Amino acid sequence: MDILREYQNIDASHRGASVAIGNFDGVHLGHQKVLDLARQGPGPLGVLTFEPHPREVFFPEAPPFRLMSATARANRLAKLGVETLFELSFNTDLSGLTAREFAQSVLADGLGLSRVVVGADFCFGKGRAGDVATLKDFGAEFGFEVVVADILQGDTGAAVSSTNIRKALSDGNPRAAAAMLGHWHRVDGPVVHGEKRGRELGFPTANMNLDGLHLPKLGTYAVLVDVLEGPHAGSYHGAASLGVRPMFNGSVPNLETFLFDFKGDLYGTPLSVGLVDFLRPEQSFNGIDALIAQMDADCQQARAILRDL
């Protein structure tokens, strides 16, 4: 998959694409529906998105909200067959374009798109002044087809959306999130050095940063782990602690994953950890022995859950 970060002076081979537009945070089932409609158009399949996420630009002091990093999003889109990712740099110039300027300068003249697919709630241009009706008018004027995808409803009747996925994760319900995502919610990234306390307790863990990501409910989870590279590449079952380690006066949340029946060094290795079930909230214990006993019980519970998948 090719990744382009500017819309000016692109190569002719990237023009004429059929493109789905959106933030694609999570690449959930609603996003995939938009992608499928774009797939039916002429030209190569593309996605038009923005980096950084516009919400990070307009509300820089807001708590982290992203379901996935830009790298994880690109990897997921590539697996779904996207040929070109137009990951445009969201800056002052781009955010200042009116709806008409965006349609003409970016979509038509810049990228030369043949088909544009958006969700029914799509807004664009300075002040979010443009909507799907406006976009259809501009498409007719500037020569690109516009297709509008209805909002996908989940099994419960609620819309499949990044907002509702975040809520499910905050509630400690990763299976509800997975039902909207179409896959387990995953934390992707390299293994970093921690305090190595898990090793001292008999549960060596692979530690991962959660910088910039929405925090699911803090606690212990049954997880599926993919080691993506290196001599230990493969899939494993495990239990993970997501939190600040209150017994040890921690303050920065991270993800510590214990891989069952695994021996080896994973420092620097990229992992993908899928949250399957929430086991218990984060808590303090009356001493190390009580903590170890609970960790052993967590692992037994996680093994039983994952065995049935």
Q: Which amino acids are annotated catalytic?
A: 256
CB 165 within 8 A of CB 177: yes
Please give the backbone phi and psi of residue 202, each rounded to the nearest 5 degrees, phi first: 90, 10
Structure tokens belonging to residue 216: 């699911």
d(CA 34, CA 137): 20
Give all strands (DSSP E) within the chain, no chain letters: 2-4, 18-21, 45-51, 84-89, 115-119, 145-149, 185-190, 206-209, 219-227, 234-243, 254-259, 270-281
Q: Are strands 84-89 and 206-209 parallel, antiparallel or unpaired?
A: unpaired
CB 95 within 8 A of CB 28: no
The β-bridge partners of 234 are: 227
